[in-house]
Amino acid sequence: MREILIIEDHGVVRAGISHILEREPGLEVAGAAGNGQQALNLVRNGLRPDVVLCDLHLGDMSGIDLVRELQQLAPEAGVIMLTVEASEHYLSEAFQAGAKGYLLKEADSDDLIYAIKKVLQGKNFICTGLARRYKEQLLHSKHVAAPQPEIELSERESEVLHLLADGFTNIEVADRLFTSKRTVEGHRLSLLHKTGARNGLELIKLAMLQGLINIPERRLS
């Protein structure tokens, strides 16, 4: 049984999420908190959730700050931000803080379960609607370089790119490709250089924009 901690300051929303999760085999709501301090107290008292569903705006602290705290107390927990904020700024901050997923509250229950299962598999998750919105923003942004259609990737670079887009770490990519972590890091640096990306998240977005990878039907993970 995989344990879930829900952190949401609206009681009705907390109850609704709990109801959805309790109907899903293999998942158990191990705790629920109405603010960040309550959540931290639960973890400090021994709760070790497999997945945390965390609102971005809590009464006593921001969800981003809470993610950073949880990374120190329970680094094994995969945090999914569950929010109304369809903002690239918040998305980037969440992942930089250590979150593994970002899901809008407008998503249906199937998407919520899907996101949890992906994070339990060790992958990252971004809901499809948000990923598609960012693609449109990138197309019209003055702050992002225009797509470079002549980018050429080696077969191995393409393999590494697709695995990174699926949320695998450098070590996991190395294991799957039967090579060393150092070799994978070299390919990743080459991908950053060829696309002009500054970090992993921007690499995936630019690769998507330039047609090097496609957005899956349900998510960018």
pLDDT value, residue 138: 53
Q: Say if residue 84's pLDDT is above 70.
A: yes
Q: Quick one: 2-122 is in which CATH superfamily?
A: Response regulator (3.40.50.2300)
Average pLDDT of 41-47? 96
pLDDT value, residue 144: 46
pLDDT value, residue 135: 56
Do 63 and 83 meet the contact criterion of CB atoms below 8 Å apart? yes
Torsional sign, CA 56, 62, 64, 68: negative
Decide: pTM greater than 0.75: no
d(CA 111, CA 48): 24
Tokens of 172: 């996991």
- Same fold flag, 2-122 and 136-220: no
pLDDT band at 220 (very low <50, low <70, confident <90, very high): very low
Tokens of 22: 């309790």
Q: For residue range 123-161, what is the model confidence (pLDDT) as tens digits? A: 888 886 676 666 555 555 544 444 444 578 899 999 999
* Domain spans in the chain, listed from the N-terminal domain onward: 2-122, 136-220
d(CA 160, CA 165): 9
Tell me the H-state helices in 5-106: 11-22, 36-44, 63-73, 88-97
pLDDT band at 166 (very low <50, low <70, confident <90, very high): confident
Do 39 and 67 meet the contact criterion of CB atoms below 8 Å apart? no
Do 131 and 103 meet the contact criterion of CB atoms below 8 Å apart? no
Closest by CA to 9, choosing from 84, 60, 67, 66, is 60
Q: Please give the class, per CATH, of domain 136-220.
A: mainly alpha
